[in-house]
Amino acid sequence: MAKPHITFHDSQPAKAYGLLAWLHIDLPLLLSLLMLVGVGLTILFSAGDEEMILLQKQLVRLGFGFTVMVILAQIHPDNFRRWSPWLYGLGILFLISVILFGELGKGAQRWLDLGFVRFQPSEMFKLTLPMVIAWYLAEKRLPPSPSRLITAALFTIIPVLLIAKQPDLGTALLVGSGGAFALFLAGISWRLIFIAGALMAAMGPLAWYLMHDYQRQRVLTFLNPESDPLGTGYHIIQSKIAIGSGGISGKGWLNGTQSHLEFLPERHTDFIFAVISEEFGLVGIIALLILYLFIILRGLYIASQAQDTFGRILAGALSLIFFVYLFVNAGMVTGLLPVVGVPLPLISYGGTSLVTILASFGMLMSIQTHKKLLPT
């Protein structure tokens, strides 16, 4: 290989496609996201008892989310990198203030009221944790040295513990997985991965000890949902009935008896996956999973095409967090995993996670579209 001559200059990628390129939009990602959102709204109409008001609210949130996505896509990834440590530090401050002054909702302290806006600081860590780890690890050569690795692990553990204490197991899980994916993508050795896995398994009993009663109940119910069919096991039993009775081709749109007769709880939020399975059957749900898979693989492709370590790690981690959303939600609804409050990404009714997820796709697009021309 001859000595390459590399020039750095900001310019548009050679293959540009008009307005979208100018707007830094990744077309395959945008189209698949729009399709997913369209499916989501269709299902929400059915799951939400055909209430237009529900759809309107969700549309407003989606509009906001997509706006955030487009705005973030305009920002150069270098800026994300620069902001990373500051955003992270601010986030930790927010988390501590939530514990000190936060508002209670559903038995957990998650919300922070800043006077002009109420938000969940834990939510922003789904973005800032991968950012800060990507920023930290990208400073030195990879794979990271053991000491840097420990520092990066601490970056992960501190917010995860703070979030778990709120308690918000679902978000803690997502944030933690974000950190873990970032480290995995950074190329830590397989040996370390196995040791970490073993440590995690050993921590199980300790986690049990630290859990709140309702969390323990969820785990127990997961292990044997029939033990409490009218209490905590009700969700899982009803959701399995909804999915199972859907069969291969489903009961048809708006014809799901489990959901329309109100047997299925939280059917337009966390358990909307069961509504899709009931009404569209195995065929419909596989089609949906393929759409999700496409988005995840597109994200990983963008990551692999990124020009610098920061972009790669960040894009990869964000894509994998999106997958964890999907898997944890679907796993919970199908009874593979215990019930943790994780929504089905971009389909479940609800605001916060929707905006976070679209923001992460904005960052992915930014990484994909702000490339420096490389000599071939």
Structure token digits, residue 343: 């929504």
Q: Is 143 in the site for another protein (CB under 8 A)?
A: yes
* 14 vs 248, beta carbon nearer another protein: 248
Residue pair 103/126 in contact (Cβ under 8 Å)? The answer is no
The window from 21-29, 94-102, 113-121, 315-323 that contacts another protein (CB under 8 A) reads 315-323
* 150 vs 293, beta carbon nearer another protein: 293
Q: Is 136 in the site for another protein (CB under 8 A)?
A: no
* 74 vs 257, beta carbon nearer another protein: 257
Q: Is 185 in the site for another protein (CB under 8 A)?
A: yes
What's the rounded Cα separation, in Å, for the pair 360 and 175?
13
* 153 vs 300, beta carbon nearer another protein: 300
Residue pair 292/321 in contact (Cβ under 8 Å)? The answer is no
Q: Is 334 in the site for another protein (CB under 8 A)?
A: yes
What's the rounded Cα separation, in Å, for the pair 41 and 62?
10
Residues 144-183 interacting with another protein (rule: CB under 8 A): 181
Q: Is 312 in the site for another protein (CB under 8 A)?
A: yes
Site string for another protein, 269-308 (x = CB under 8 A): --------x---xx--xx--x--xx--xx--x--xx----
* 112 vs 243, beta carbon nearer another protein: 243
Minimum distance of another protein from residue 90's CB (angstroms): 28
* 125 vs 184, beta carbon nearer another protein: 184
Peptide bond into 143 cis (omega under 30): yes
Q: Is 320 in the site for another protein (CB under 8 A)?
A: yes
Positions touching another protein (CB under 8 A) are: 4, 6, 141-143, 181, 184-185, 187, 238, 240-248, 257-258, 261-263, 277, 281-282, 285-286, 289, 292-293, 296-297, 300, 303-304, 309, 312-313, 316, 320, 323, 327, 330-331, 334-336
